[in-house]
Amino acid sequence: MAINKMEESTGPKGAHSTTVDKAISVIQYLAEHPEGVGVNALCRELGTQKPGLLRILNALTDAAWVIKDPHSLRYRLGYHLLTLSAQALLGPHFQEIAHEGLRQLATSTNETANLGVLDQWNIVFIDQVEAVQSIRLQVRVGSRGPVHCTALGKALTAFLPTDRLQLLWRLAPYTQFTANTLVSSDDLSMELGRVRQNGFAIDDEEHRDGVRCVSAPVRNYGGDVVAALSVSGPATRIRDEVLSHVIQQVTQVAHEVSAQLGHRTQTSGPG
């Protein structure tokens, strides 16, 4: 889709010269160039002055709608905008459907169940059903967590397109939280490959000592991963002998929620 060049302000009647119009033009242009665009190229292509464009880019970056790659200095669409788009496509009943899935998980595993989405290089917890246990894990809804050492983060990022995943690797801070935290790109690449192959992710005391988590992705009708469900609890309860049961429950409920969002698992026909 061709983008009209942004015209400079010509007065109050210039309806197409407002800051909002210019910001929309920037977003549309960046959407068509996922490899990223430098500010000079944006000025040239959109026909605007650099100071005004920088103000718009700074505002979009502050809102996490646009990301500036610190190495190439190119601008790309931010994950926050992608998350908002995904949530809009899920429909108004998504959290109601997902919450019922969390309740089912908390009951079947007797551990805390969580729902998370990706926002830039963090996960955001958007719902939780706590376990009925004297010792249970609590995460405040709305809080954030890292992507590289949480089961939710792995489930959300393993299925990203390669270019977005590589950008995430460049920008995300890979903090060493425990002795089990994976911080090298090679180790993380292998781990995410296992997640793609298995269909679920495990945090084996990688974010917090003594805590184990299992997560599986939630897909929409187009097959895109838009959220993830997880079960978390003390490693003393999610022991090796019960891990397979937790994995089975998490993947089953994630498939059921995905199906209610319109996703259909493709199966091979007779051959």
Quote the pLDDT of residue 19.
Answer: 81
CA 228 to chain centroid: 9
- How far from 262 is each of 94, 204, 217, 220, CA to CA, in Å? 11, 32, 14, 6
- The pLDDT tens digits of the residues spanning 112-128 come to 999 998 876 788 888 88
Report yes or no on whether pTM surpasses 0.75.
no
Mean pLDDT to the nearest integer, 202-228: 93
Closest CA to 164 of 63, 76, 58: 76
pLDDT at 72 over 80: yes
Among 52-66, 83-97, 146-160, the least confident range: 83-97
Quote the pLDDT of residue 168.
Answer: 76
| List of domains in the chain | 15-77 (1.10.10.10), 84-260 (3.30.450.40)
Q: What is the mean pLDDT of the chain?
A: 83
Residues 6 or more apart whose CB falls under 8 angstroms from that of 142 comprise 124, 125, 126
DSSP result, 82-126: HHHHHHHHH-TTHHHHHHHHHHHHHHHHSSEEEEEEEETTEEEEE
Quote the pLDDT of residue 8.
Answer: 45
Asked if 122 contacts 93 with a C-beta cutoff of 8 angstroms, the reply is no
- How far from 220 is each of 53, 147, 151, 215, CA to CA, in Å? 35, 21, 20, 17
CA distance 27 to 199: 33
**Dihedral (C-alpha) 117, 70, 41, 64: value to the nearest 10 degrees?**
30
pLDDT at 42 over 80: yes
pLDDT at 14 over 60: no
Relative to beta strand 112-119, strand 211-219 is unpaired
Quote the pLDDT of residue 24.
Answer: 87
CA distance 123 to 198: 21
